[in-house]
Amino acid sequence: MSTMMIKEEAHKLIDLIAIWDDLMHELYVRKTIDHGLTDSNAGRTKDVQKIRKKYGLPK
């Protein structure tokens, strides 16, 4: 296998890894949002002002 072919294959693998990483991130974000919406619809929320006060954040 020539050096050029090896480099091309390496680039293809890197592109696939980047695509896979993007896909996994997107799935994680969607799952997190879905869980948040489920909790919100079920009334499992916390008051923003109480959270800000707990952590000393500005209003």
* Tens of pLDDT, residues 11-21: 999 999 999 99
Q: What is the mean pLDDT of the chain?
A: 93
Q: Which two tokens stand for residue 31?
A: 């799952």
pTM score, whole prediction: 0.65
> Which residue reads 């680039």 in tokens?
11
* Percentage helix, strand, coil for the chain under 3-state DSSP, each rounded to 5: 80, 0, 20
> Which residue reads 């969607």 in tokens?
30
pLDDT of residue 59: 79
